[in-house]
Structure 1
Amino acid sequence: MSDQSDHFDLVIIGGGPGGYSAALYGASAGLKVAMVEKDALGGTCLNRGCIPAKAFLETAAVKRHVDHAEDFGIETKSEASVAFATAQERKQGIVKNLVNGIGAMCKGRKVEVFNGTGSLRAGRTVDVALGDGGSATITGDFVMLASGSVPRLIPNFERGGPIMTSDEVLDLDWLPERVAVIGGGAIGCEFASTFADLGSEVTILEGLPKILPGLDNDVAKVVQKSFKKKKITTKTGVMVNGHTPNDSGGTVVQYGDGESVEVDVVIVSVGRRPYADELGLDGTGVVVDDRGFVEVDEYCRTGEDGVYAVGDLINTPQLAHVGYAEAILVIKHLLGENPMPVMYDRVPWAIYCHPEVAWAGPDEQQAKEAGHDVVVAKHPYKFNSRAMILGETEGLVKVIAKKRPDGTAGQILGVHMVGPWVTEQLSGGYLAVNWEASVDEVAEFIQPHPSLSELFGETVLSLTGRNFNG
């Protein structure tokens, strides 16, 4: 492509969740939009994160269901085997369809997509090094930075061979027999759950005193107990020191005080860092802090007039749906619509390990530390009829509410869930937290029966002082 120059209402650097949602939302509001993406549309979430990881988790769920088919009266002649290359092919098909879908929507809304690397300089000018070797210079009334994040690395565990980050492990087309997961956070626990359910021998190595350190204690205990049943070995409070490759293509990981584990694959899952490496920014007022995050205000504005930043590039929860929310916020703000900033302390969270985890608002300890007197109710899934029907009775729903002066429960502060399909059930709790609804108000709403979601309703109802179940 030959050199070219053009001007747009909005130029976006990055085609991940924050970038493409801003492009589509902005275009639907009548803006002339350009988007620069050096890789496939959809960013990390679609190509190397949320979507492919959940596709593998679903493969693991199917394996789990088949293993327990006889409990439902379905006789199987032999134990299910895993053709992981087929799972990989299925995952790639899902990703391809979604990437093509984003491209079609961009074309339909006349978003001009530049395949290349964009760097910002003064005057809201973006230089694009195009993938075909050409270049382009584009300008915008506004610019959004949405270049996302990349996996964090640790010393002595360089990528290659058996050492993988989430990028590489999602390209596996074979099932490792032994897996070490370094990092017991959300991403690490999702991988541990996936491979354990598929039949791998899994060891989690976590430097903190417990896995999933950000979870409500009651919720975390359910996951820890479930992982023990899956025979996942969990080593907490240990640091990894290095590894020694073996003759079979695997490696021996050294950790703690002289301990080691021999595995076929090591998944380094210690978080992600913002990727501002190629943004340029020379001559602009955009500030990158010492951790690599672009500094913004509550409207995602940087220090450069007319330049915004969203998603993993800024120090907000690294969640695709938060990127969506920030994108909408930016478009409304640049259009002068006076939007409300994102309330980061109330966003929905979801972890897709088995059992699933989902929550909105503070947990019990956080609510108390914030100075609230609280009333707490929690109900287990083991008495829920739908959970029994599914054969998935692990877990609970926990609701944290403010205590009124008379000792009764008032405003719902937090809703925390662990169990079957809780990522699909959270919406009611999320709405209750964000609308600052009271226990009495939510208790008036009818939940379908039999359903998993009625456990949330019953838990709230119990906070009124009356209940018909449990």
Structure 2
Amino acid sequence: MPSYDYDLFVIGAGSGGVRASRVAAAHGAKVAVAEEHRVGGTCVIRGCVPKKLLVYGAHFAEDLQDAKRFGWQVPDCLFDWPALRDNVLSEVERLEGIYNSTLVNNKVELIPERATVTGPHEVKLAGGRTVTAGIILIATGAWPDVPDCPGSEHGITSNEVFHLEALPKRIVIAGAGYIANEFAGIFHQFGSHVTLVNRTDVILRGYDEQIRDRLLQISTVKGIDFKFHAAFEKVEKLEDGSLMVHVTNHDPIPADLLLFATGRRPNTAGLGLENAGVALDDKGAVVVDADNKSTCDSIYAVGDVTNRVQLTPVAIREGHAFADTLFGNKPRRVDYDCIPSAVFSHPPLAGVGMTESQAREKYGSCKVYTSDFRAMKNVLADRHERALYKLVVHSETEVVLGIHMIGPDAPEILQAAAVAVKAGLTKQAFDDTVALHPSMAEELVLMR
């Protein structure tokens, strides 16, 4: 048998790479992981964790206003962006330390350098050293995609948005996916004028149409400006440092900040994967089979770099399944059916299973149950924002095919409800469940 420096060499210490590394090491493998940026990857350092903390911070804008209707004498409050920013970055640093400790405690060698593939079993480090491994795992995630237009260098991406020196008075956000809509809600609550620019007229493609239409309606009423069928022509930087964003079909848009949230590309550029015969698709994603193996038998990939499902919990499961299969003698695969997802917009939305259109396309017909209501808290707060819950049910078997909702705490409620969809429960099972009153979640078992 060939002798290698490591049993497993992981490139990328994000959620998938860290899980794969520590589990493989726990199974007895000699493991090293190379990370050129910071341990924790997109989710911990520049993604879902710091963004969710900003979402919490943004909610206080409405909560403080609503508190007056509940009898609290709340004075006019000023928002201190540097205080929140620095506290969030401090928490990110704390979490990075935990991730580092996790690797150390599991006897995984952390190499803080860029690594590139030079052969099926060989990796070259930025410092010049070459190492060998029986198995190489690519877990480099994805990187923000920026439109190719003159002046695009004047914009930033979600990587940099957490480090702003000051809040912009006017922000243009490019895109209409979950990142765009989440930051639109955040900056609006912080007091910025938000303009969301999208090349089509569809937001949150892939989510249920009724739910995403409700978010568009609520966001518009709040004052977020949407520019549809708008492709970028150029971005000008003016003498005072502000920007003028030129798009098709609309007047130029003045802005103090331009945020590109136009998707993320698999981060494979310059990794040298061609040196080992690793095939990439047209988006640059590593092509893998059900066991995460690439077209090179000794190279595997997990997480966003494969462009299957770009969600942190999926990357973690893929990394764990990879390590168990190759190093733990416990072969298993990730089940991609009924994966719940959420958008932490204002208000948040969440969904699991089939949308109404997907169900009709597959089965020809389906039953749809909805509950369109104002949360009790919103009623007393004199806030007219309405929640919408939706069950998509098989016409014959009565199995609940999907649950979709928008409203306060929708993601928290859906996590539990997703178990029912995954288990294949019927609408009758929902009907037979006694409501927990008074709660928003009870609407799920009261639809008739």
Does the CA contact (< 8 Å) of 1:415 and 1:430 recur in 2?
yes
Alignment match, 2:283: 291
Report how far residue 125 of structure 1 moved.
2.0
Does the CA contact (< 8 Å) of 2:398 and 2:427 recur in 1?
yes
Q: 5 Å matches for 1:367-382?
A: 367-382=359-374
Q: 5 Å matches for 1:47-446?
A: 47-78=45-76, 80-129=77-126, 134-156=127-149, 158=151, 160-161=153-154, 163-257=155-249, 259-334=251-326, 335-343=328-336, 345-382=337-374, 385=376, 394-404=386-396, 410-446=398-434
Report how far residue 428 of structure 1 moved.
2.4
Matching residue within 449, 452, 456 for 2:440:
452
Does the CA contact (< 8 Å) of 2:151 and 2:235 recur in 1?
no
Alignment match, 1:466: none
Does the CA contact (< 8 Å) of 2:290 and 2:333 recur in 1?
no
**How many pairs align?**
444
| 1:230-280 deviation line (CA, Å, top 9, x unaligned) | 100111122221122222211111122351111111111110111111321
Return the alpha-carbon distance in structure 2 between the equivalents of residues 266 and 346 of structure 1: 35
Alignment match, 1:20: 18
Report how far residue 38 of structure 1 moved.
0.7
TM-score by length of 2: 0.93
Does the CA contact (< 8 Å) of 1:381 and 1:419 recur in 2?
no
Does the CA contact (< 8 Å) of 1:19 and 1:146 recur in 2?
yes
1:370 aligned counterpart, secondary structure: helix
2:98 alignment partner AA:
G
| 1:262-317 deviation line (CA, Å, top 9, x unaligned) | 11111111101111113212441311122211111122110111321111111212
Q: 1:258 to 1:450 in 2, by over 3 A?
A: closer
1:13 alignment partner AA:
I
Return the alpha-carbon distance in structure 2 between the equivalents of residues 308 and 123 of structure 1: 11
| 1:44-69 deviation line (CA, Å, top 9, x unaligned) | 12111111222222111112212332
Report how far residue 429 of structure 1 moved.
2.6
Return the alpha-carbon distance in structure 2 between the equivalents of residues 46 and 361 of structure 1: 27
2:294 aligned counterpart, secondary structure: coil
Report how far residue 374 of structure 1 moved.
1.2
Report how far residue 386 of structure 1 moved.
6.5
| 1:185-232 deviation line (CA, Å, top 9, x unaligned) | 111111111111111111111111222232212101210111012100
Does the CA contact (< 8 Å) of 1:329 and 1:342 recur in 2?
no
The percentage of aligned residue pairs carrying the same residue is: 28
| 1:352-385 deviation line (CA, Å, top 9, x unaligned) | 0111011111100011112253111111342x55
What stretches of structure 2 of length at least 5 have no aligned partner?
none
2:252 aligned counterpart, secondary structure: strand
Report how far residue 433 of structure 1 moved.
2.1
What stretches of structure 1 of length at least 5 have no aligned partner?
463-470
Return the alpha-carbon distance in structure 2 between the equivalents of residues 279 and 108 of structure 1: 28
Does the CA contact (< 8 Å) of 1:386 and 1:452 recur in 2?
no
Return the alpha-carbon distance in structure 2 between the equivalents of residues 178 and 287 of structure 1: 43
Report how far residue 443 of structure 1 moved.
4.1
Does the CA contact (< 8 Å) of 1:145 and 1:310 recur in 2?
yes
1:69 alignment partner AA:
A
Indicate the RMSD between aligned Cα atoms, in angstroms: 2.2
Return the alpha-carbon distance in structure 2 between the equivalents of residues 109 and 321 of structure 1: 21
| 1:420-439 deviation line (CA, Å, top 9, x unaligned) | 11111112232122222222
Return the alpha-carbon distance in structure 1 between the equivalents of residues 240 and 51 of structure 2: 26
Alignment match, 1:468: none
Does the CA contact (< 8 Å) of 1:183 and 1:205 recur in 2?
yes
Report how far residue 123 of structure 1 moved.
3.9
Alignment match, 1:9: 7
Q: 1:99 to 1:428 in 2, by over 3 A?
A: same
| Greater Cα shift, 167-176 or 275-284 | 275-284
Alignment match, 1:465: none
Return the alpha-carbon distance in structure 1 between the equivalents of residues 113 and 424 of structure 2: 44
| 1:73-102 deviation line (CA, Å, top 9, x unaligned) | 111232x22211111101101101111111
Does the CA contact (< 8 Å) of 1:287 and 1:295 recur in 2?
yes
| Greater Cα shift, 289-298 or 151-160 | 151-160
Return the alpha-carbon distance in structure 2 between the equivalents of residues 157 and 379 of structure 1: 47
